[in-house]
Structure 1
Amino acid sequence: MDPPPKSWSIYTRAEILAKYQVMERVGSGTYSDVYKGRRLSDDLIVALKEIHDYQSAMREIEALQILQGSPNVVVLHEYFWREDEDAVLVLEFLRTDLLTVIKEAKKEGAGLSVGEIKQWMFQILCGVDACHANMIMHRDLKPSNLLISEDGVLKLADFGQARILMEPGFHAVDENPSPYEDVISNHERSLQHPEAFPQTHSQNQDGYGNQEQRAVTQDEYYRVLDEIKTKSSTDDMDKDTNFQDGNTSCLATCTISDVEDDFMKGSFTYEADARDNEEGGLTSCVGTRWYRSPELLYGSDDYGLEIDLWSLGCIFAEILTLEPLFPGTSDIDQLSRIIDVLGNLNEEVWPACSKLPDYEKISFTKVENPPGIEGCLPNRLPDEVSLVKKLVCYDPARRATAMELLQDRYFGEEPLPIPISKLRVPLTRSAHDEDSHNLDDLDLSDCEDFNPVNVIKTGTGFSIQFP
């Protein structure tokens, strides 16, 4: 569905033109356009993101305001929004992203060093921890939404699908010291390279909603989360919307892209139709297919921060191998690839899986001797494999939180994360046109990839079994 026609554009917004020079369009999608701009008062280069969808604009503004000051989240300088006009967000301009880093490393053939990998992972964890500490689900974590400044600072971006599960100010931490302080104190040599560890959120409390924080135990954290997930939300902003940006959502952030590129070549990812219901309930159709968790693929509308943790594991595996972990061509193929690696999904590995809406509708033949994550990460360090396994697992309750992983021994052992200033940062964002796929939403044609297919009538509908 195309956005409604309009008789004006960012170039006719007097209040914007009074403060910014609109230079060139650098990204375009169904629901947003991004322009490179220059702030007239001090010549600062910015990204001007014009969002054509009310719900997406509200989500992004609210999330970024809560996360203001977090060093690993994109900066929202200000925004313009009046009745009957699109919101225009003024964001910091970031020239590249993690997907470009991965593609450049693959092109060079040497891969990323362990020190580089640790630094990228560490910064991603800091950004995700900032979100989850404020009960913000990003819901679309992927390499192209992890933007990078020219000096190597990685920042989470594109919060158009984000959901805030509760009021900011609830700080889900345990009573242990800051994980970053732990790592540094246990390994004195890291003090020689202080910039290897980004500033901690404990040093940036003002960036977390400027509200009083309280420490809670992990048990209390999950108890509150469970209460939120089972309670009907009254979020009146979740009106029907549509995120069928195809491959262009990743362009509509703050990165450079070639808007003349063929639509079919812009990205290998798939953008789902994100429609949360009017009562504030959640939709399973969020995120990008390659990074979507099993509970989403099975149609769950009762999920939490754990979906981001699954995405995180897929991203980490991609950093390690320079290849996507589960590059599905349809939702069914996506599930099939996951099951081929992790084995069949059943009550033994995830006690609540039978309650998933589509669990009884779709089944796969028994997978004998699945290789597990180890089989997908050949020649990687045991601690690296362990890190990914803590995230890429069926049971959401078993996935390690970002805070727990920040304390993982992996980051404190030699070789340490290299200083941020030593990271190799590509000059510009690539077009992401290699190994691309044009991926459509799940429909009956998805079944054509599998032979034979058994369709069994049940009392509540039907079941599809794939070999």
Structure 2
Amino acid sequence: MDPPTRSWSIYNRTEITQRYEILERIGSGAYSDVYRARRLSDDLIIALKEIHDYQSAFREIEALEILQKSPNIIVLHEYFWREEEDAVLVLEFLKTDLASVIREAKRNWENGISVGEIKWWMIQILHGLDACHRNSIVHRDLKPANLLISSDVVLKLADFGQSRILLEPGFVTGDEHTHPHEQNTPSQTWMLQQPETIPESDNSNQEQITMSKEEYFKELDDLKAKDSVDETDKETNFNDGDTSCLATYTTSDMEDNPFKSSYSYEAESEGDRSGALTSCVGTRWFRAPELLYGSMDYGQDIDLWSLGCIFAELLSLKPLFPGTSDIDQISRIISTLGNLTEEAWPGCSKLPDYGKISFGKIENPLGLEAYLPNRSSDEIHLVRRLVCYDPASRATAMELLHDKYLNVNPLPVPVNELRVPSTNNGQDESSPGQWRDYKDMDSDSDFEEFGTVDASTTGTGFSIHL
């Protein structure tokens, strides 16, 4: 096919075009473009993800290299990266995702997703997330659109551009089946990596580097300084977490998709390589309350909150907290779970934005039961173990794998009984519904966007009466 009229760098890179035939561009966003391509050596269809943001590329490659032994993580076949060029990741090509399963069930399945199917998807997600957390990786953007499904119906976590490794390189919290990560720092010359084919004992095609935490971060900062993207511009742009390897995303799909990630990485917020984080990550509907209140001191617990929102959506076929702004998001959570107090969450009053917004006292919170009608007590209990204020109280992925709900009848269905759309089915213009109502969910909004509320100003912010 002819390349687009715009000069896309991937078409001009012979090290790529000599190995892959680029078939079509299937996804596009502010910081990456995704192409469907054919590997010339064996005709394998793959996805080429060209990432225009240095930091996102570094994090995605780093996380995927650590996690390649997990069957529930998307496969990184190899990648290309050299000085003053965008990184290009060669990923397995997956045709659909969990968001498409939910949409198909809502539109066409009379009884929704069966309990056996829900358990299958839950177990797959939990195994993938457990692999991340055992390796000290926090994904930071879990949502149905980032849970891709292979042709043999294996669910795989994808889109690690917002991920962070919480501990220094080389240290892994795992068991005997988890291999410590040996850091591969991108060099300033073209690199070709094949993590799934290179034996562990053969380092001839890779530059294996052992360095201290300080040396590692210094190397990252030195390379980052060479990046041509203006750091000040990044703060005003959106990070596109949906340019994964889905088969049917087009440019228009990306613009209308309500699950586009909301924020870019902030140079100042995460410039401290000793571990400072930013609260501006993830997608609003799945963002933990500590992020909504501005915390920069969080851990893997934010993924567990997102996981609870995903589980609830599988059960109800609709988002649990579809906030139209960050304030609306908080109000929906409080209306359901009750007031955010020290009793409910010890230490919450120390959150950066806790004193800026106050809500009227909720005498009778709705409870999760109101959003999960006709679901069993075990199902609601499982969601409650994740969607709770105190991060320390959220159940880990491994704990949930042993939850009785997943281990009693009806058991997960056999693979051949799973109903999966053949491709990502996108948004249906003729049936807008709630999916399209919140297409702007990721634009951080001012108080005025919250809508009509009973509010009053205070010395430090404002008070909202629900």
Same fold (TM over 0.5): yes
Alpha-carbon shift at residue 424 of structure 1 (Å): 1.3
Contact preservation (8 Å) 2:358, 2:463: yes
The CA deviation at 1:260 is 4.7
What code does the residue aligned with 2:271 have? E
Counterpart code for 2:84: D
Q: 2:402 aligns with which of 398, 402, 407?
A: 407
Kindly indicate whether residue 345 of structure 2 is the aligned counterpart of residue 350 of structure 1. Answer: yes
Is residue 324–residue 450 contact of structure 2 (8 Å, CA) maintained in 1?
Answer: no
**Contact 2:279–2:291, Cα closer than 8 Å, also in 1:** yes
Shift of 1:263: 6.0
| Greater mean alpha carbon deviation, residues 434-443 or residues 350-359 | 434-443
Instruction: Give the match for residue 465 of structure 1.
Output: 464
**Partner amino acid, structure 2, of 1:242:** K
Against the structure 1 CA distance between its residues 406 and 258, is the aligned structure 2 distance closer, same or farther, given a 3 Å change threshold? closer
**What do the CA deviations read for 1:425-464 (whole angstroms, capped 9, x no partner)?**
211102235431223533434455133321112xxx4344
* 1:345–1:235 CA distance, 2 compared to 1 (3 A): farther
Give the 3-state SS of the residue equivalent to 1:453 in structure 2. strand
Shift of 1:9: 1.4
| 1:28 corresponding residue in structure 2 | 28
Q: Distance in 2 between matches of 1:263 and 1:378?
A: 32
Q: 1:455 aligns with which of 443, 448, 457?
A: 457
Cα deviation for residue 368 of structure 1 reads: 1.5
Letter of the aligned partner of 1:388 in structure 2? V
| 2:74–2:156 Cα contact (<8 Å) kept | yes
Distance in 1 between the 2:81 and 2:416 partners?
37
| 8 Å Cα contact 1:363/1:465 also seen in 2 | yes
How do 1:383-462 residues align onto structure 2 when only pairs under 5 Å count?
Answer: 383-432=378-427, 434=432, 435-436=435-436, 437-439=439-441, 441-446=443-448, 448-457=450-459, 461-462=460-461
1:350 Cα shift? 0.4
Are the aligned partners of 1:140 and 1:288 in contact in 2 as well (CA < 8 Å)? yes
Count of residues in Structure 1 that have an aligned counterpart in Structure 2: 409
Relative distance call for 1:333 and 1:67 in structure 2 (3 A) is same
| Separation (CA, whole Å) in 1 of partners of 2:399 and 2:362 | 31
Q: Which moved more, 1:264-273 or 1:342-351?
A: 264-273
Cα distance in 2 between the residues matched to 1:232 and 1:15: 33
- Aligned CA distance change for structure 1 residues 105 and 209 (closer, same or farther; 3 Å): same
Q: What is the distance in 1 between the residues matched to 2:370 and 2:442? A: 29
Aligned CA distance change for structure 1 residues 262 and 205 (closer, same or farther; 3 Å): closer
- Asked if structure 2 preserves the Cα contact closer than 8 Å seen for 1:268 and 1:432, the reply is no
Match of residue 337, structure 1, among 313, 332, 337: 332
What is the distance in 1 between the residues matched to 2:162 and 2:238?
Answer: 14
Give the unaligned 5+ runs of structure 2. Answer: 1-5, 184-212, 225-230
Contact 1:31 1:243 survives alignment (8 Å): no
- Per-residue Cα deviation, 1:381-425 (whole angstroms, up to 9, x for no partner): 111111100000000000000011111111110111112333112
Instruction: Please give the alpha-carbon distance, in whole angstroms, between the structure 2 residues aligned to 1:85 and 1:421.
Output: 43
Do residues 116 (structure 1) and 117 (structure 2) align? yes
Partner of 1:326 in structure 2? Answer: 321
Task: Please name the residue that 1:289 is paired with.
Answer: 284
Whole-Å separation in 1 of the counterparts to 2:334 and 2:372: 16
Deviations 1:236-266 (A, max 9, x none): 547758387759531x101023425266523
Helix, strand or coil at the partner of 1:91: strand
Closer, same or farther: CA 272–382 of 1 in aligned 2, 3 Å: same
Question: How far apart in 2 are the matches of 1:407 and 1:121?
Answer: 12
1:316-359 Cα shifts (integer Å, max 9, x gaps) = 00000000000000000000000000001000000110000000
The match for 2:248 is 257
Residues 1:144 and 2:129 are matched in the alignment: no
Distance, in Å, in 2 between the alignment partners of 1:90 and 1:122 is 27
Query: 143-152 vs 237-246, which deviates more?
Result: 237-246
Distance 1:158 1:446, change over 3 A: farther
Structure 1: stretches of 5+ with no match in the other structure: 1-5, 174-201, 212-230
The aligned counterpart of 1:182 is none
State how far apart, in whole Å, the 1-side matches of 2:440 and 2:91 are: 29
Q: What is the aligned counterpart of 1:170 among 160, 172, 197?
A: 172
Alignment of 1:83-162 (within 5 A): 83-108=83-108, 109-162=110-163
State the partner residue of 1:9: 9
Match among 229, 234, 245 for residue 242 of structure 1: 234
Q: Specify the code of the residue in structure 2 equivalent to 1:424.
A: R
Runs of 4+ in 1 over 6 A off after TM superposition: 231-234
Distance 1:432 1:268, change over 3 A: farther
How has the CA–CA distance of structure 1 residues 440 and 321 changed in structure 2, closer, same or farther, with 3 Å as cutoff?
closer
Distance in 2 (CA, whole Å) between partners of 1:84 and 1:312 is 37
Q: Deviations over 1:136-169 (max 9, x none)?
A: 0000000000000122100000000000011355
Are 1:271 and 2:262 matched, yes or no?
Answer: yes
**Aligned CA distance change for structure 1 residues 72 and 346 (closer, same or farther; 3 Å):** same
Amino acid paired to 2:181: G
Say if 1:269 and 1:290, in contact at 8 Å, map to a contact too: no
Seen in structure 2, the aligned counterparts of structure 1 residues 112 and 8 have a Cα distance that, compared at 3 Å, is: closer
Q: What's the secondary structure of 2:461's corresponding residue?
A: strand
Aligned residues of 2:73 and 2:157 also touching (Cα < 8 A): yes
1:160-213 Cα deviation digits (max 9, x unpaired): 00000113552356xxxxxxxxxxxxxxxxxxxxxxxxxxxx7x545x6389xx
Corresponding letter in the other structure for 1:257: T
- What's 2:304 paired with? 309
In 1, are the aligned partners of 2:31 and 2:239 still within 8 Å (CA)? no
Partner residue in 1 for 2:80:
80
AA aligned to 1:406 is L
Which of 424-433 and 37-46 deviates more?
A: 424-433
